[in-house]
């Protein structure tokens, strides 16, 4: 039996396998430290499209197509796709994956979407509701700036606490049977709740999200009676350098020290000093492409055996921001192990 554990966690009876995955990124991400690891790097950030939104849809489409190809599967083999993005009404998803005609369960968790989609995808398989599932998410620097902040042409100055939205998408094919090409396995998860410390600075999303990351991590260790040392890495999505400090400090006050294990995809994906990305990368695509290109590779090579992958989301909209509301956070954690 699958086991509901504590307040917010699940231990799967049988692990769910990540059969394969694929990542595609923009040119800036291709020039970053992980550049050589991505499956595809665009020559520019339009990907042959007329609008940024269409470009982001194309990222999702290509990521899913390539992940299926690498897994040796066709769209008809997939029961459901769990997908979402940052844009209003998940526009990149609606127009990105319709071509595959796979039944769609749309998710929204801001930049925690990769974690949420993997958690739900794994549940759908472990519960016997699906044979195979695809989880996909994306973000695009220019479509996100347009959605949330200023017109790019305005050239506003970015504070050092700001993050740079990753242009990229990654797709993950999940299945119940290991097969020959599986990259890793999902064995457990902790679902996050909305945590709102009242912060209102959309140019410091790391600080807005860190309390949610701390909440989910604390709950995870309570539910599993676990310790940070059980993981080779505890990986947040896009806290960046400011959020990382806040997270480590918040957890220390709870008696939990993750300073040895902590890694943040936003810090890994860019070289902040040379790429002028300030606090780090962000966006749904940030944790997704880092998982596909880097984290799963480390697990495949058994450099790491068990990681806690926890994308973090800032529940921000331009309407709520303009109405003076805070930026609540949410984070969903997935336990991923080497085979």
Residues that bind its own copies (CB under 8 A): 1-4, 7-8, 10, 51, 53-54, 76, 79-80, 84, 86-91, 94-95, 97-98, 101-110, 116, 119-120, 123-124, 126-131, 146-147, 191-196, 315-320, 323, 325, 328, 330
- H/E segment holding residue 120: helix 113-126
Nearer to its own copies, 27 or 89 (CB): 89
Nearer to its own copies, 130 or 296 (CB): 130
Residue 209 has phi, psi (to 5 degrees) of -90, -25
H or E segment to which residue 264 belongs: strand 262-264
Q: Are strands 233-236 and 3-5 parallel, antiparallel or unpaired?
A: unpaired
**Minimal distance, residue 212 CB to its own copies, in Å:** 10
Helix residue ranges per DSSP H, 175-309: 205-223, 240-253, 265-269, 272-275, 284-290, 296-300
Contact 333, 200 (CB under 8 A): no
Residue nearer to its own copies on the CB measure, 157 or 319: 319
Q: Which is nearer to its own copies, 10 or 63 (CB)?
A: 10
Q: Which is nearer to its own copies, 30 or 285 (CB)?
A: 285
Q: In the bound complex, what is the minimum distance in angstroms from residue 136's beta carbon to its own copies?
A: 13
DSSP helix/strand/coil, 278: coil
- 121's enclosing H/E stretch is helix 113-126
* Smallest separation (angstroms) from its own copies to the CB of 190: 8
Q: Give min distance, CB of 44 to its own copies, in A.
A: 19
72 or 103, CB closer to its own copies? 103
List Cα–Cα distances, 113 to 27, 83, 88, 139, 288, in angstroms.
Answer: 23, 8, 14, 11, 9
Strand partners of residue 21: 172
Give me the least distance between CB of 129 and its own copies, in Å please: 5
CB-nearer residue toward its own copies: 30 or 115: 115
Beta strands 80-85 and 281-282 are unpaired
In 3D space, the residue among 36, 17, 1, 19 whose CA is nearest the CA of residue 289 turns out to be: 36
Shortest distance, CB of residue 288 to its own copies, whole angstroms? 16
The residue among 27 and 51 lying less far from its own copies, judged by its C-beta, is: 51
Question: Least distance from C-beta 152 to its own copies, angstroms?
Answer: 15
CB of 281 to its own copies, least distance (A): 19
Burial grade of 260 (CB within 10 A; 0-12, 13-18, 19 or more): exposed
Q: Which two tokens stand for residue 155?
A: 């050239």
Q: Which residues contact 143 (CB under 8 A, 6 or more apart)?
A: 52, 53, 55, 56, 86, 87, 92
């Amino acid at each position: 039996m699958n086991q509901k554990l504590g307040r917010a966690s699940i231990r799967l009876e049988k692990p769910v396998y990540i059969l394969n995955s694929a990542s595609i990124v923009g040119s800036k991400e291709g020039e970053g430290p992980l550049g050589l690891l991505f499956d595809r790097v665009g020559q520019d950030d339009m990907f042959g499209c007329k609008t940024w939104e269409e470009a982001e849809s194309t990222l999702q489409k290509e990521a899913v197509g390539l992940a299926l190809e690498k897994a040796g599967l066709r769209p008809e083999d997939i029961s459901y796709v769990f997908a979402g993005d940052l844009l209003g009404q998940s526009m990149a998803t609606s127009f990105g994956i319709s071509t595959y005609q796979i039944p769609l369960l749309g998710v929204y968790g801001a930049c925690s979407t990769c974690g949420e989609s993997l958690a739900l995808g794994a549940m759908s398989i472990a519960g016997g509701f699906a044979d195979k599932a695809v989880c996909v998410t994306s973000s695009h620097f220019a479509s996100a700036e347009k959605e949330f902040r200023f017109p790019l042409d305005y050239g506003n100055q970015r504070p050092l606490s700001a993050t740079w939205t990753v242009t990229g998408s990654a797709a993950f094919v999940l299945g119940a049977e290991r097969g020959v090409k599986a990259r890793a396995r999902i064995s457990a998860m902790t679902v996050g709740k909305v945590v709102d410390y009242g912060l209102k600075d959309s140019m410091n999303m790391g600080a807005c999200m860190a309390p949610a990351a701390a909440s989910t991590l604390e709950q995870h260790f309570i539910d599993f009676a676990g310790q940070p040392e059980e993981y080779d890495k505890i990986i947040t999505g896009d806290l960046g350098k400011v959020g990382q400090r806040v997270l480590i400090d918040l957890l220390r006050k709870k008696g939990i020290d993750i300073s040895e294990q902590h890694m943040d995809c936003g810090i890994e994906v860019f070289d902040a000093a040379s790429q002028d990305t300030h606090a780090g990368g962000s966006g749904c695509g940030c944790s997704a492409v880092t998982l596909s290109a880097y984290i799963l590779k480390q697990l495949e090579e058994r450099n790491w055996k068990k990681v806690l992958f926890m994308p973090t989301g800032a529940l921000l909209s331009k309407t709520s921001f303009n109405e003076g509301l805070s930026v609540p956070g949410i984070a969903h954690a997935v336990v991923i192990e080497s085979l």
